[in-house]
Amino acid sequence: MGGRLVLLNSVLTASPLYFFSIFRCPAWVLTKIDRIRRNFLWGSYQSFDKKKFCLVSWQIITKQKEFGGWGILNLHHMNTALLGKWIWKYHFKEHTSIWKSIVTSRYNSFDNTSTSSPLWKTLSRLKPLFNLGCKRIVGNGDNISFWNEVWLDNIPLSRTFPLLFNKTNKPKATISQVWNEGKVKLSLSRGISNPVRSKKTVVLNILNELNLNSEKDSIFWNLDSRGFYSVRSLYSFLNNLGITCNLNHTVWPIKVPLKAKLLLWLILNNKILTLDNLQKKGWQGPNKCVFCDNLESVDHIFLNCPSASNFWTGFNLFNDRGINLNFTNMSSIWFSINNLKSNDRAFTKAILATWCSVVWNERNNMVFRDFKTNEHNHTIFRTLHLFLNWTGTSTGLAANFRDLTALQNAARRSERQDTSEGHVTDASSD
């Protein structure tokens, strides 16, 4: 899956981005592209007789990694963010460029008219959304819309005072037109009600504190700390809306291959195809763990199953770090690991991700290849081998020889235990 995710991001997602910076892509085209990307990611193609399950909602994995997703681009939001760059260039950056002079002479305004090109109509419709991310800094007030642009607080006055805005005769008036030489000209229609009069009083009080000067109006992009527009800032705002996830984003910095990170993400979110999850999707069959006779689930395989006991209790890697092993689910243990110091946290996460990959691989071998094994030390030795191959000595994670020695000792104890049990069995048979 890790390789498919890389190809999806570098080929299927990257190919149409140039066209998205010029044209508004129709919704039906985006739907078809997303279907192709989704089927490729989960290995489901039209040529296959049986389609595979989509383990995670597409709306979740198209969020950025720091917001709990997989970092796959949401093409609709990226299309909007790329087109927003033209609005920024036209209004606030390239004042003397030739292309702006040609467009200005052609349309004379940023309004959507019947003679406008498809691109210009799209940009006109995006202008209200763009204004929400901009904060106008008032100078002479000649280029700032009094009602429709953000120049006071973080919301346009048309939304702060909707009753008053509906009564105005000049909804596109600039600040300098409303506040002209100390005189207020709201240009309201006749017959306003008492609630509208009260809102008018509030607006007049605001204008009494307004001071215009001879400098030109300027702009600050609120979604970026530098104050300048960036495609990334608008895309992040549209795609995530500031909702963070403290559980999932900490998977990605682990020094293991991408496929191991994705597996750990699925485990922590209970999305892998264990037998209980398959039954939720309509699969008909017995739910029985391949390692024991209990019901199979994510928490059972990686935490509560007897086959996992050597990993959790066979050495002192977790106990020495103060990690509580009395939890009943993997998510709680993951939060406990996040509270460790930086070096301990990185080492422990890498070991855990490696072990989960080994256990899940052995489970699948027993289910699909009829490979039977009860040698628990094999799992620990395999974990140690992969850990050293994946992390290497340059990362500093493998430098903690005390923990690696404890891991090796646990495997040896398990091996001796299996050997002694084998001798007992042989003696009883004799």
Residue by residue, DSSP assigns 1-32 as -HHHHHHIIIIITTTTHHHHTTSPPPHHHHHH
Task: Supply the pLDDT for residue 30.
Answer: 94
Residue spans of the domains in the chain: they are: 1-132, 134-222, 249-429
Chain centre to alpha carbon of residue 406: 37
- CA 313/CA 320 separation, integer angstroms: 11
Task: Supply the pLDDT for residue 34.
Answer: 92
Nearest of 239, 385, 227, 380 to residue 315 by alpha carbon? 380
**DSSP code string of 98-123:** HHHHHHHHHHSSS---TTS-HHHHHH
Task: Supply the pLDDT for residue 404.
Answer: 57
- CA 79/CA 294 separation, integer angstroms: 49
Task: Supply the pLDDT for residue 80.
Answer: 92
Where does residue 296 rank: exposed (0-12), middle (13-18), buried (19+ CB within 10 A)?
buried
* H helix intervals, 115-230: 118-132, 157-160, 162-166, 175-178, 194-208
CA angle 77, 83, 89 (to 5 degrees): 140
| pLDDT (tens place) for every residue of the chain, 430 residues total | 888 899 999 999 999 999 998 888 999 999 999 999 998 888 876 555 567 788 888 988 998 888 888 889 999 999 999 998 888 888 776 666 787 777 777 776 666 566 677 777 888 888 878 877 888 888 877 878 887 878 777 778 788 888 777 878 888 888 887 777 667 777 777 667 777 777 777 777 777 777 777 788 788 888 888 888 889 988 988 888 756 555 556 788 888 899 999 999 999 888 888 888 888 888 888 888 888 878 888 888 888 887 777 777 654 455 555 555 566 678 777 887 777 777 778 888 888 888 889 888 888 888 887 776 655 567 777 877 788 788 764 445 444 545 555 555 655 555 555 455 444 334 444 4
Bridge-based pairing state of the strands 183-184 and 179-180: antiparallel
CB 329 within 8 A of CB 303: yes
Task: Supply the pLDDT for residue 10.
Answer: 92
- CA 419/CA 296 separation, integer angstroms: 28
Give every CB contact of residue 162 below 8 A, 6+ residues apart in sequence.
none
What is the identity of the amino acid at 245? Answer: C
Where does residue 217 rank: exposed (0-12), middle (13-18), buried (19+ CB within 10 A)?
buried
What is the three-class DSSP state of 347? helix
Task: Supply the pLDDT for residue 75.
Answer: 94
Task: Kindly state the tokens that stand for 420.
Answer: 């002694």
Task: Supply the pLDDT for residue 427.
Answer: 40
- CA 276/CA 285 separation, integer angstroms: 10
Bridge-based pairing state of the strands 134-137 and 183-184: unpaired
Task: Kindly state the tokens that stand for 301.
Answer: 């395989």
